[in-house]
A and B are shown apart, each in its own frame.
Chain A
Amino acid sequence: MAQQLKWQLGTVVEIRQETPRAKSLILDLPDWTTHLAGQHVDVRLTAEDGYQAQRSYSIASPPEDRHLMLTVERIEGGEVSPYLTDGLRVGDRVELRGPVGGYFVWDAREGKHDGSPLFLAAGGSGVAPLMAMIRHRAHAGNKVPTRLLYSSRSYEEVIYREELERLSASDPTLRIIHTLTRRRPPDWAGYGRRVDRAMLADAAWPPAENPLAFTCGPTAFVEAVATHLEELGYEPGRIKTERFGPTGG
């Protein structure tokens, strides 16, 4: 069955400041069908003279939500992200198409996944599609053992920090492991460096458990994680990557 995505308009119903640099846009899309956790949308901006710019953003909301959430980190000097984080107001409309991507997806429903433990590795705003997976998993009551290794610059820049605390506090099968690479609070007892092989050896599921890994973030982060996981014995086909490019989105 052929399917061609059409550009559609969504209305901003809420703008949420997640961290000093990142905001979530919650969009009402009357023509939206559904999506799988991990998929993305292409957002297109058009200036009055017809000039257009396009970027892809991972969907941070689970398929169970009525509205779509996109989480955007403002890149200084960027063309699109400053408009999305600082130019939009509630009530504005945004043009997008999706959902896109059948490769970087995880479905929590019975019969759609193989029960393997999930290892999720997020670099900065790369947490967005992995958060969609975690939220979807919670809605579905899915209990596959899941670990999120989440690299952020500082405690204040951990996106969805409180929600992740809440979800993991009430679900012993979900564990969040943070690493803060630039600044740490005085009483910080967690990892304090860039993700490396030793950290993954500790944090990731052992290969013998046939885990499924998803990693998303800046290209350099994703490539380091994928390389180390392979060195640790993960099957290349069981490591799914979503590179964001040089600046993380």
Chain B
Amino acid sequence: MAEQFISRGFKGRARETDRAVKERIPPGQFVTKEFPVLSAGPTPRTPLERWDFSVYGEVAEDLKWTWDEFRRLPRETVTADIHCVTKWSKLGTVWTGVSVDTLLAGVGLDAQPEVRHLVAFCDGGYTTNLPLADVRGGKAWVVDEYDGKPLDPVHGGPARLLVPHLYFWKSAKWVRGFKLVSEDRPGFWESVGYHNYGDPWREQRYAGD
């Protein structure tokens, strides 16, 4: 097999060299000051009058909030480092929104221990799957503000899921609801080779990692 040609002098994307930074971020990542946009489809444009957020599935109660109702739920501001599977990390990002605990509170989950999974579904058809345990207990939010301003559509506005302890493809943009299920269902990227769980600290980028 022929040896790969090396492009003289090509350095490529910054690899993280700062040791203090390297200790703070998961393996294989580098820090960026930008906020790259990765989209698998066109930016949806749902008007707020038609937006709603649903929680349904194998549970006794279906829940739904209009945009106004969603905005009146208890809100919190979260500062988090985020990690994309394409290797960039962004430190100290600030989001405001509703804890997933709040959204799941009325659905009666404790009475149904076999319902252990969640599928987030979104405008444009994107989906991602998560264990319920990973979105409860203060680990996940549905956020509608970034840096104190309304979330830009290219970054998932009006609202996106935020699950910072997992790779950022799990923080689904343009989220419209959760389906609660007993059987896990791989989402958009999980079904074409990305890791089903996606822990950046164990570098779970791809299926089989």
Identify the A interface with B (CB < 8 A).
Answer: 7, 9, 45-53, 79, 83, 87, 92-95
B4 at the interface (CB under 8 A from A): yes
Are B13 and A46 neighbours in the complex by a CB distance under 8 Å?
no
Is A94 within 8 A of B4, CB to CB?
A: no
The answer to whether A50 and B13 have CB atoms under 8 Å apart is: no
B38: shortest Cβ distance to chain A, in Å? Answer: 12
* Whole-angstrom distance between the Cβ of A90 and the nearest chain B Cβ: 12
Per-residue CB proximity of B1-22 to A under 8 Å, as 1/0?
Answer: 0001111111111010000000
| Residue from A53, A83, A95 in contact with B9 in the complex, judged by beta carbons closer than 8 Å | A83
Q: Is the CB of B7 within 8 A of A45?
A: yes
Chain A residues with CB under 8 A of B5:
7, 9, 46, 93, 95
Q: Report yes or no: A95 in contact with B12, Cβ–Cβ below 8 A.
A: no
Task: Please name all residues of chain A whose beta carbon is closer than 8 Å to the beta carbon of B9 when the two chains form the complex.
Answer: 83, 87
How many A-B contacts are there with CB distance less than 8 Å? 38
Interface size range of chain B in the complex: 10 to 19
B4 x A47 contact (CB < 8 A): no
CA of A84 to CA of B182 in the docked complex: distance in angstroms? 52
6 A–B contacts from the bound complex (CB under 8 Å): A45-B7, A46-B4, A46-B5, A53-B12, A83-B7, A93-B8
Do A53 and B4 touch across chains, with their CB atoms under 8 A apart? no
B8 A47 Cβ-Cβ under 8 A: no
Q: Are B6 and A46 in contact (CB under 8 A)?
A: yes
Do residues A50 and B4 form an inter-chain contact, with CB atoms below 8 A? Answer: yes
On chain A, the residues within 8 Å of B6 by CB distance are 46-48
A49 to B28 CA separation, bound complex (whole angstroms): 13
Beta-carbon contact of B7 and A79 below 8 Å: no
Q: Which residues on B sit within 8 Å (CB–CB) of A83?
A: 7, 9-10
In whole angstroms, what is the CA distance A79 to B6 when docked?
16
Question: Which single residue of chain A is at the shortest CB-CB distance from B5?
Answer: A95
| Distance in angstroms between the alpha carbons of A49 and B4 in the assembled complex | 11
| B60 CB, min distance to chain A CBs, angstroms | 46
Residues 111-140 of B at the A interface (beta carbon under 8 Å): none
Interface string of B38-66 (1 = CB under 8 A from A): 00000000000000000000000000000
Extra contacts besides A45-B12, A53-B13 (7): CB < 8 Å: A45-B10, A47-B6, A47-B7, A53-B10, A53-B12, A83-B7, A93-B5
B7→A94 contact, CB < 8 A: yes
Minimum distance in angstroms from A230 CB to a CB of chain B:
18
Partner of A79 from the list B4, B8, B12 (CB cut-off 8 Å) is B12
Inter-chain contacts of B7 with A (CB < 8 A): 45-47, 83, 94-95
> Are B12 and A51 in contact, with the CB atoms below 8 A?
yes
Q: Which residues of B contact A93 (CB under 8 A)?
A: 5, 8
How far, in Å, is A50 (CB) from chain B's closest CB? 7
Give B3 Cβ to nearest chain A Cβ, in Å. 11
Q: Is A46 in contact with B10, judged by CB distance below 8 angstroms? A: yes
B177 to chain A, nearest CB (A): 30
